[in-house]
Structure 1
Amino acid sequence: MPTTLIITPPLDGVLCIRLNRPDALNALNTQLLAELADTLSDADNDDRVRAVVITGNARAFAAGADIKEMAERDLVGMLEDPRQHHWAAITRFRKPIIAAVNGYALGGGCELAMHADIIIAGESAQFGQPEINLGIMPGAGGTQRLLRAVGKSLATQMVLTGEPISARRALEAGLISEITQPELTLERAMAIATRIAAKAPLAVRLARESLHKAMDTDLATGLRFERHAFTLLAGTTDREEGIRAFQEKRPATFQGH
Structure 2
Amino acid sequence: MPVSPGLFVDERADRVHVRLHRPETRNAIDQETVTALHAVCAALEEHPRILVVSGSDGVFASGADIARLLERRRDDALAGINSGLFVRVARLPMPVIAAIDGWALGGGAELAYAADFRIASTTARLGNPETSLGIIPAAGALWRLRDLVGEPLAKELVLAGRVLNAQEALTAGLVTSVHEPDELSAAADALADRIAANDPLATRLAKEVFHAAADAHPRADDEAQALLFESPAKFERMTAFLERKGKR
Change (3 A) 1:243 1:140: same
1:49-101 CA-partner distances (Å, limit 9, x unpaired): 52111111242111111100011223334334544443443343221111111
Change (3 A) 1:166 1:235: same
Distance, in Å, in 2 between the alignment partners of 1:102 and 1:53 is 13
Q: What residue is the counterpart of 1:223 in the other structure?
A: 218
Q: SS at 1:136's partner residue?
A: coil
Change (3 A) 1:36 1:180: same
Distance, in Å, in 2 between the alignment partners of 1:150 and 1:222 is 24
Matched-pair contact (CA < 8 Å) for 2:86–2:140: no
Q: What residue is the counterpart of 1:116 in the other structure?
A: 115
- Asked if 1:10 is matched to 2:12, the reply is yes
| AA aligned opposite 2:210 | L
Q: What residue is the counterpart of 2:27 in the other structure?
A: 26
Paired residues in the alignment total 243
Deviation (angstroms), 1:106: 0.8
Distance, in Å, in 2 between the alignment partners of 1:84 and 1:113 is 12
Change (3 A) 1:170 1:18: same
| AA aligned opposite 1:153 | P
Q: What residue is the counterpart of 2:128 in the other structure?
A: 129
Distance, in Å, in 2 between the alignment partners of 1:120 and 1:204 is 20
Matched-pair contact (CA < 8 Å) for 1:128–1:163: yes
Distance, in Å, in 1 between the alignment partners of 2:231 and 2:67 is 51
| AA aligned opposite 2:20 | L
Q: SS at 1:61's partner residue?
A: coil
Matched-pair contact (CA < 8 Å) for 2:125–2:163: yes
| Matched-pair identity in % | 36
- Using the size of structure 2 for normalisation, the TM-score is 0.91
Q: SS at 2:174's partner residue?
A: coil
Q: What residue is the counterpart of 1:154 in the other structure?
A: 153
| AA aligned opposite 2:204 | R
Distance, in Å, in 1 between the alignment partners of 2:41 and 2:193 is 17
Unaligned runs of 5+ in 1: 251-257
Distance, in Å, in 2 between the alignment partners of 1:6 and 1:222 is 39
Q: What residue is the counterpart of 1:233 in the other structure?
A: 228
| AA aligned opposite 2:92 | F
Unaligned runs of 5+ in 2: none
Q: SS at 1:62's partner residue?
A: coil
Q: What residue is the counterpart of 2:185 in the other structure?
A: 186
1:100-122 CA-partner distances (Å, limit 9, x unpaired): 11001111111101111111101
Distance, in Å, in 1 between the alignment partners of 2:211 and 2:118 is 15
Deviation (angstroms), 1:28: 0.6
Q: SS at 1:116's partner residue?
A: coil
Matched-pair contact (CA < 8 Å) for 2:6–2:20: yes
Distance, in Å, in 2 between the alignment partners of 1:177 and 1:68 is 33
Deviation (angstroms), 1:33: 1.1
- Using the size of structure 1 for normalisation, the TM-score is 0.88
Matched-pair contact (CA < 8 Å) for 1:103–1:122: yes
Distance, in Å, in 1 between the alignment partners of 2:123 and 2:134 is 27
86-95 vs 123-132, greater mean Cα deviation: 86-95
| AA aligned opposite 1:41 | A
Matched-pair contact (CA < 8 Å) for 1:41–1:89: no
Q: SS at 1:232's partner residue?
A: helix
